[in-house]
Structure 1
Amino acid sequence: MPNMSNKSLADGKILQDVVDGVGVITFNNPDKRNAMSLEMWEGLGEALTTLRDDPAVRVVILVGAGDKAFVSSADISQFEKTRHNAEASEEYSRRSAAQRALLADYPKPTIACIRGFCLGGGMQVAMLTDIRISGSSAQFGIPAAKLGIAYGYDGLRHLVSLVGPSWARLIMYTGMRIDSAEALRIGLVDRVLPDAELWDATMEIARTISGNAPLAIKAAKITIAQALKDPADRDMAAIKQIGIECMDSADFREGRSAFMEKRKPQFKGR
């Protein structure tokens, strides 16, 4: 029987793997600098769903194949066919909306591991993840103003929440490229490492997360997401509920026991 954890989707342009309790999704279109097509968005959704439903997976890394790009943009060669006017663009957005929502509301921690170009649609993917770890080669930008397209509310909301309104305006109005050092300084990425060390460092963070109590991480993820919403939109009941689940969990008992016994806890996520 084939290993369900190793899957190739979207004609091999999305790869899905599991290593040590860490799910890995690879954007595998290096000839086009991993430009995102609709088929790749749909493959991404399928991979995210499989890893979400796999109890062995505690955290998910998104990474680009090769060393040239994370995701360089949406596949502009498709635009003539799929996004040539408002109506077609609306359909394109609708078809990728489910996958974007899946990543935005993902119940497990997500990490973007970024080498090379992270532009446009690639920035959207990276900003939807919880944590962004960058190689020193990375370049960031949103060239929407150079193409004459509006970037969309969700993407800009995430950008503003990371870098603030002034930098969001500068990035959007100029379409400029930002290097990894600048991206770190303005808060667009969380850590920058030499490219050669990037993957091991990202896996190390993922393994650390994977060893912690899943319910406690879920509580943090839910609470931070609610804190970013307008007060009227916050689901305080969801925050209270996950707090109760944590305090009543076997993992909380295990955490206490492990601490007292000076050993590494073995968390089960319940």
Structure 2
Amino acid sequence: MSMEFAEGKILAEISAGVGTITFNQPEKRNAMSITMWDGMAQALDAFEADRSVRCVVLRGAGGKAFVSGADISQFDKNRSDAEAQKEYGRRTLHGRTRLTEFPKPVIALIQGFCMGGGLGIAMSCDIRIAGTGSEFGIPAARLGIAYGFDMVKSLVSLVGPAHAHMILMTGGRFSAEEAERVGLINKLVPAEDLEAEVAKLTAQLAINAPLSLVANKRTVRAVQADAADRDMAAIEAAMAACFDSQDYAEGRKAFMGKRKPEFRGE
């Protein structure tokens, strides 16, 4: 099943329990426009509604970039000063929030440039797998801008304040090897093995218990949030749903019978 959003600049596909979103503006190294943020949100809406989708992969078209950042050609029109930036933030908020609050596992398949807002997208994913030759960076200091609290918080939570200072203050690019060393990505693999590595991961996620994946993701996110923002009732409800589910009974039977479980998400 294939879908297109944002005039074809966001492609979505469902296959074997995996939903894939492709940022499809390779002529601009997949730089994100406002309409692409909206298109990504629409694709995520479709994936959440489809029970066959167990996990989601984000990737860039063309092999040279995941997402190289925001579309700078729109800056004069949409981000010319502080007031315009507030409006830009408002117009892209739905897409950003949709990604950060998406309940199913999300994996970033990174090959090539992963810069600025593109790195922000990758950091909003649950798992980041990169191929050799990829490059990362947040060039805010070289553009004369500052990144928002949520993106900086994500960066600090992944790499710590010392590395976050280095990344933000220099504004420079750094290699995938360095990204793995500081904890920005989960795993670095040879570029030619990247597709197979992500396929292996998504195949495992697609056969795991969906309610368990959702509950555990919710809990990890809650641990990262401020105490006042934690919905402990929702966490308890998600955990209870797992223990009361048919999947839990199936998991026990499969374990005792020494066979693979067949989970249905109910």
Q: TM-score, normalised by structure 1?
A: 0.97
Q: Aligned residue pairs: how many?
A: 266
- Counterpart amino acid of residue 84 in structure 2: A
CA distance in 1, matches of 2:253, 2:167: 49
Q: Which residue number in structure 1 is paired with residue 182 of structure 2? A: 186
- Counterpart amino acid of residue 227 in structure 2: P
- Is 2:82 the partner of 1:86? yes
CA distance in 1, matches of 2:229, 2:88: 28
Q: Could you list the per-position Cα deviations for residues 242-268 of structure 1 after superposition, in whole angstroms to 9, with x for gaps in the alignment?
A: 111111100000000111111111101
Partner of residue 222 from structure 1, selected from 208, 218, 240: 218
- Counterpart amino acid of residue 229 in structure 2: D
Q: Which residue number in structure 2 is paired with residue 124 of structure 1? A: 120
- Deviation of the 1:222 alpha carbon: 0.9
- Counterpart amino acid of residue 208 in structure 1: Q
- Counterpart amino acid of residue 14 in structure 2: V
What secondary structure does 2:263 align onto? coil
Q: Which residue number in structure 2 is paired with residue 101 of structure 1? A: 97
Percent identity at matched positions?
Answer: 52
- Aligned ranges 1:55-204 → 2 under 5 Å: 55-204=51-200
- Deviation of the 1:18 alpha carbon: 0.7
CA distance in 2, matches of 1:145, 1:94: 23
- Counterpart amino acid of residue 15 in structure 1: L
CA distance in 2, matches of 1:30, 1:109: 25
Q: Which runs of 5+ in 1 are unaligned?
A: none
Q: Could you list the per-position Cα deviations for residues 110-162 of structure 1 after superposition, in whole angstroms to 9, with x for gaps in the alignment?
A: 00000000000101110110000000111000001111111101100100010
| RMSD of aligned residue pairs (Cα, Å) | 0.8
Q: Could you list the per-position Cα deviations for residues 17-69 of structure 1 after superposition, in whole angstroms to 9, with x for gaps in the alignment?
A: 01110000000111110011111111111111111111110000000001110
Q: Could you list the per-position Cα deviations for residues 215-261 of structure 1 after superposition, in whole angstroms to 9, with x for gaps in the alignment?
A: 11111101111111223332222221111111110000000011111
CA distance in 2, matches of 1:125, 1:208: 23
Q: Could you list the per-position Cα deviations for residues 178-214 of structure 1 after superposition, in whole angstroms to 9, with x for gaps in the alignment?
A: 1011100100000001111101110110110110001
Partner of residue 259 from structure 2, selected from 234, 247, 263: 263
CA distance in 2, matches of 1:103, 1:233: 18
Q: TM-score, normalised by structure 2?
A: 0.98
Q: Which residue number in structure 2 is paired with residue 213 of structure 1? A: 209
